[in-house]
Amino acid sequence: MRYLPNTPQNQRAMLDAIGARAVEDLLVKIPAKARLSRPLALPPALAETALVRHLRALAAENADADRYTCFLGAGAYDHYVPSPINHLVLRGEFFTAYTPYQPEASQGTLRTIYEYQTLIAELTGMDVANASIYDGASSLAEAALMAHAATGRGEVVLAAGVNPLYRRVVATYCGGPGLRLREAPAPDGVLDLEAIRRLVGARTAAVVVQSPNFYGCLEDVAAVAEIAHAAGAMLVVVADPVNLGVLEAPGRLGADIVVGEGQGLGVPLSYGGPYLGVFAARQELVRRMPGRLVGATVDLDGQRGFVLTLQAREQHIRRAKATSNICTNVALCALMATVYAAILGKRGLVEVGEQCMAKAHYAAGRLTAIPGVSLRFPAPFFKEFTLRLPKSPERVVARLARRRILAGVPLKAWDRRLGDCLLVAVTEQRTREEIDALAAALAEAVA
Amino acid sequence: MARRGKPAYDKLVFELSSPGRMAYSLPAPDVDVEAARAQIPARYRRAQPAELPEVSEFDVVRHYSRLSQMNYGVDTHFYPLGSCTMKYNPKINEDMARLPGFARLHPLTPEAHAQGALRLVHELAAMLAEIAGMDAVSLQPAAGAQGELAGVLMIRAYHASRGEQRTKVLVPDSAHGTNPASTALAGYEVVEVKSDATGEVDVADLERHLGPDVAAFMITVPNTLGNFEPRIVEITERCHAAGVQVYMDGANLNAILGITRPGDLGFDVCHFNLHKTFTTPHGGGGPGAGPVGVKAHLEPFLPVPLVTRRGDRYALDWKRPKSIGKLQAFWGNVGMLVRAHAYIRTMGADGLRAVSENAVLNANYVMKRLEAHYDVAAPGPCMHECVLSARRQKKLGVTAMDVAKRLLDLGFYAPSTYFPLIVEEALMIEPTETESKETLDAFCDAMIQIAREAETDPAAIHEAPVTTPVRRLDQTKAAREPTLRWRPPA
């Protein structure tokens, strides 16, 4: 077995040193009645060649975004991943390292996290960012819990435009402390500000708004901030950091906490994970933040160095009173995002955002020129938009998939009122030809 | 033993920035950008650019390559980090996770077009269920702590479904910090159960706490002192007699593969750390994956959606009205699941049993070689890890932390220190099965050398490390004056 170096001779020498006849002698504390008396019923072991054949066969059954033209979004996007990212994260010193608890032997990881915290703070316009949460949805759940702890209030108002999958995760996490979740309606695809004013009050810990929201529409975050703050509540903004080269930083619009899915920053689609939970906040909240934080300090010689800091918030120190139960995070995905941001840089991220925006608007123009197809909501959008179709979106999607086009996400499963709607996302990766091909195929499918 | 000169490299990527450099390549836009810009109201547009670096592609590659050299990884160094199972991460797993059919698959691809991925997930769940002796497994939790949260929430939902209001969860004083943290997050009061002198659960203390207000008992097997609880079956039986569910923290599963199973020991729930036992890389802190397995009576409460099979078709099953809900936006850390699947299929049943046997052998060998030089926290034989105490060395002025720092100079990562909390000056050593006798001997020689140095030259140990990119760091300064992001020099 190629992963096990002990030879029978090694094993004999070690057993002799221990004073045992066999490994069995070392297992004496396991009660006989609890021992497994048969081999595990697992499929037979595969040699590497057979394993590769097996997994390639499974992979080939999937409509991946290399072989299919992908217009799917709804929280995960087909942005380009520049080549150096994979080469760098595959360096064993990064990807086989543990959490940097021994800082002298972990300066590489600590520095990349410090860079990551800086770039997330910069993009979101916030003071501090942590070293990551699992994904955008669990980041939002942590933000709701943090707002509850910081304000001592028991209600969270969530805009209807917040990704419905995120809202379900928030509900799971908030069940423990028994927070009340209230939904603020978005009848025209964006928040009804009057309705939210009525919902927000002295019990509100936080108002959560996503922009662009699940339907692709841009929300008036600054107006929501005013309403939240007037009631002494916090504003939590869900944002996609890839968009923040072009769209205003939530921190400048009044956000107290910014969370989001960082997958678009160089992290592969991987059928839903692992992704990158972005979490940033105002300075005053730093001691209530969940997750790891890296800080700068000096060593014995006065040399600059980096350490995990403010650990008294965390489970390994504070146990039941920790700000969160998170231990393992998604450090390697944060490294991908860090390298991505370094590669795209100040101008590249703007260009990616503008190309997404431009191609999405071109696509919306082409698609709504098809008879019977229209934009469902009038609000401005960025890289994603909701279409109303004259035929069943599920059937249209199935039909276009046969032509190797993943046309979008039918919204019926997420919102019954939108049974005739399709959510279409367009990234910088899509070409004009691909968009034209989508338009032609859709025109045929709804004719 | 002062350092020789400055460290080899001390840059942050922001400090490499030079206006006008670029590392990206995008095609010229093939549609009208100006027209789209006009569609976005000015108040939504970014007023001031984000200050990201401007560097060349080679700058990026060299910078992160240099940073990587400031790390110890399993690929480069022996990592005897107790409780973390720092074993070899097979390269083929990385190749398989990067197949476009997995890495480039969007989570909302129609199920009919994601059958291979769904099948892989379904098969992995079945294999994990067999390994743990459980009836059903959800692969959604992103990490061990999220698996714990899922498990405790399922227990809560189960009691509620029976009209029972139980408010406490019992956790041993030797537990990982995530156990009490996850339990508190799920809305329970956490009550600590004592361990006896050998680190085993004090069954009399447990008995005193069991009652109609207790929802669950949560315990790590083997325990965090590296020992198998000889009375574990009796413990799970007593809990069940009191209506208490029993949760197994699977952090130490690497010790028992094919030897015994949580389900057969009487556990109702357990989680798996795929980044420990099942070789997915630790990545400097994550991502991991923390699937959770349950007995049949808890199956209705598993997170949604569950991957199900009907005939030869696989699907995401959302119609589970008793489910605790969702934990992540999508279906789990599938990239990690591909790696774990590849590993289990590579090892097979005999291979997995050999994993645990060699892990146990290696840990006992290390303990044997070191027992004359350090105090042993609990008498052996141990399972996959052993806990030593540096209390003898502390009397000479050398702490567990000092031992750890000195090891870095001798070419090894450090054991876990100061955990479990019930052991003074704890040094928790988990060699794993993928290390050879030669490596273990070299490590033991280094540990023995340090024990001698503690007697002859403790001051030299206090200087350590001196070969690392930085020397000991000022943690107090970092916490008192938190500087959590880079800013350009004024």
Q: Which domain holds residue B211?
A: 92-346
**Chain B nearest C-alpha distance from A437 (Å):** 15
Q: Are residues B295 and B340 in the same domain?
A: yes
Residue B4: is its pLDDT beyond 90? no
Which pLDDT score is estimated for A4? 98
Question: Minimal Cα distance from A50: which residue of B?
Answer: B346
Q: What is the separation of C-alpha A278 from the centre of its chain, rounded to a whole number of angstroms?
A: 7
Instruction: Give the mean model confidence (pLDDT) for residues A258-286.
Output: 98
Which pLDDT score is estimated for B3? 54
For residue A179, count CB atoms less than 10 angstroms from its CB and return exposed for 0-12, middle for 13-18, buried for 19 or more.
Answer: buried
Beta strands per DSSP E along A13-118: 69-70
**Contact residues on chain B for A20, CB-CB shorter than 8 A:** 364, 381
Closest CA to A333 of A262, A396, A386: A262
Least confident of A95-109, B186-200, B285-299: B186-200
Q: Are residues A324 and A353 in the same domain?
A: no
Residue B82 within any structural domain of the chain: no
> Is the Cβ of B1 closer than 8 Å to some Cβ of chain A?
no
Residue A19 within any structural domain of the chain: no
CATH of the domain at B249: 3.40.640.10
Report the number of distinct structural domains present in chain A: 2
**Chain A nearest C-alpha distance from B75 (Å):** 5
Q: Are residues B291 and B414 in the same domain?
A: no
> Taking a C-beta distance cutoff of 8 angstroms, is the pair B199, B172 a contact?
no
Which pLDDT score is estimated for B6? 62
> Taking a C-beta distance cutoff of 8 angstroms, is the pair A145, A194 a contact?
no
Q: Which domain holds residue A370?
A: 69-81+345-446
Gap between the Cα atoms of A446 and A273, Å rounded? 33
Residue A105: which of B146, B413, B419 has the nearest Cβ? B413
> Is the Cβ of B296 closer than 8 Å to some Cβ of chain A?
no
Residue A134 within any structural domain of the chain: yes
Residue A300 within any structural domain of the chain: yes
Residue A260: is its pLDDT beyond 70? yes
> Is the Cβ of B435 closer than 8 Å to some Cβ of chain A?
yes
Domain final position from B313, B346, B379: B346
Report the number of distinct structural domains present in chain B: 3
- Crossing angle of helices A107-124 and A331-368, in 10° steps, is 30
Domain final position from A299, A314, A339: A339
Say yes or no for a CB contact (<8 Å) between A17 and B342.
no
Q: Are residues B239 and B340 in the same domain?
A: yes
Q: Are residues A101 and A199 in the same domain?
A: yes
Which pLDDT score is estimated for B1? 47
**C-alpha distances in Å from residue B293, one per residue of B144, B264, B300, B307:** 12, 13, 12, 14
Which pLDDT score is estimated for B197? 81
Domain final position from B304, B325, B346: B346
Residue B378 within any structural domain of the chain: yes
Structure-block tokens of residue B291: 């699937």
Residue B463: is its pLDDT beyond 80? yes
Q: Are residues B33 and B151 in the same domain?
A: no
Residue B490 within any structural domain of the chain: no
Q: Are residues A175 and A228 in the same domain?
A: yes
CATH of the domain at B386: 3.90.1150.10
Residue A369 within any structural domain of the chain: yes
B155-190 pLDDT tens trace: 999 999 999 999 999 999 999 999 999 999 999 999
**Chain A nearest C-alpha distance from B327 (Å):** 5
Look up tokens 């396991």; give the residue.
Answer: A30
Residue B13: which of A55, A65, A115 has the nearest Cβ? A115
Q: Are residues A295 and A353 in the same domain?
A: no
**C-alpha distances in Å from residue B132, one per residue of A99, A425, B69, B221, B357:** 27, 41, 38, 12, 17
Domain final position from B311, B346, B381: B346
> Is the Cβ of B360 closer than 8 Å to some Cβ of chain A?
yes
What is the DSSP track for B160-228? HHTT----EEEEETTS-THHHHHHHHTTPEEEEE-B-TTSSB-HHHHHHH-STTEEEEEEESS-TTS--
Domain final position from A319, A339, A359: A339
Which pLDDT score is estimated for B9? 93
Percentage of chain B with pLDDT > 70?
A: 99
Q: Are residues B153 and B276 in the same domain?
A: yes
Residue A132 within any structural domain of the chain: yes
Domain final position from A339, A354, A375: A339
> Taking a C-beta distance cutoff of 8 angstroms, is the pair A198, A230 a contact?
no
**Contact residues on chain A for B404, CB-CB shorter than 8 A:** 102
Q: Are residues B226 and B115 in the same domain?
A: yes
B406-457 pLDDT tens trace: 999 999 999 999 999 999 999 999 999 999 999 999 999 999 999 999 999 9
Structure-block tokens of residue A352: 């990616």
Where residue B199 falls among pLDDT bands split at 50, 70, 90? Answer: confident
Residue A173 within any structural domain of the chain: yes
Say yes or no for a CB contact (<8 Å) between B50 and A123.
yes
Question: Minimal Cα distance from B324: which residue of A?
Answer: A172
Say yes or no for a CB contact (<8 Å) between B485 and A26.
no
pTM above 0.90, yes or no: yes
Residues 6+ apart with CB under 8 A from B283: A94, A95, A97, A330, A331, A332, A333, A335, B275
Instruction: Give the mean model confidence (pLDDT) for residues B285-312.
Output: 97
Q: Are residues B56 and B161 in the same domain?
A: no
Q: Are residues A77 and A90 in the same domain?
A: no
> Is the Cβ of B60 closer than 8 Å to some Cβ of chain A?
yes
**Contact residues on chain A for B60, CB-CB shorter than 8 A:** 84, 88, 339, 342-343
> Taking a C-beta distance cutoff of 8 angstroms, is the pair B172, B219 a contact?
yes
B84-B86-B282 Cα angle (round to 5) = 80
**Contact residues on chain A for B180, CB-CB shorter than 8 A:** 315, 319-320
Q: Are residues B134 and B41 in the same domain?
A: no
Question: What is the C-alpha end-to-end distance of chain A, expressed in Å?
Answer: 60
Q: Name the average pLDDT for chain A.
A: 97
Residue B99 within any structural domain of the chain: yes
Q: Are residues B321 and B372 in the same domain?
A: no
Gap between the Cα atoms of A226 and B22, Å rounded? 39
Residue A51: which of B346, B465, B474 has the nearest Cβ? B346
**Contact residues on chain B for A6, CB-CB shorter than 8 A:** 358, 361-362, 433, 436-437
Residue B376: is its pLDDT beyond 80? yes
CATH of the domain at A389: 3.90.1150.10
Q: Which of A327, A395, A396, A400 to mutate to test the interface with B (most CBs of B within 10 A)?
A: A327
Which pLDDT score is estimated for B5? 55
CATH of the domain at A330: 3.40.640.10
Residue A269 within any structural domain of the chain: yes
Question: Minimal Cα distance from B286: which residue of A?
Answer: A330
Q: Are residues A189 and A315 in the same domain?
A: yes
Q: Are residues B318 and B370 in the same domain?
A: no
Closest CA to B120 of A24, A218, A61, A157: A61
Gap between the Cα atoms of B284 and B59, Å rounded? 22
Q: Which of B484, B486, B487 to mutate to test the interface with A (most CBs of A within 10 A)?
A: B484
Where residue A64 falls among pLDDT bands split at 50, 70, 90? Answer: very high
Q: Are residues A311 and A369 in the same domain?
A: no
Gap between the Cα atoms of A337 and A88, Å rounded? 12
Q: Are residues B249 and B102 in the same domain?
A: yes
Say yes or no for a CB contact (<8 Å) between B350 and A129.
no
Residue B79 within any structural domain of the chain: no
Residue A272 within any structural domain of the chain: yes
Q: Are residues B338 and B363 in the same domain?
A: no
> Taking a C-beta distance cutoff of 8 angstroms, is the pair A157, A170 a contact?
no
Look up tokens 């029972």; give the residue.
Answer: B164
Residue B277 within any structural domain of the chain: yes
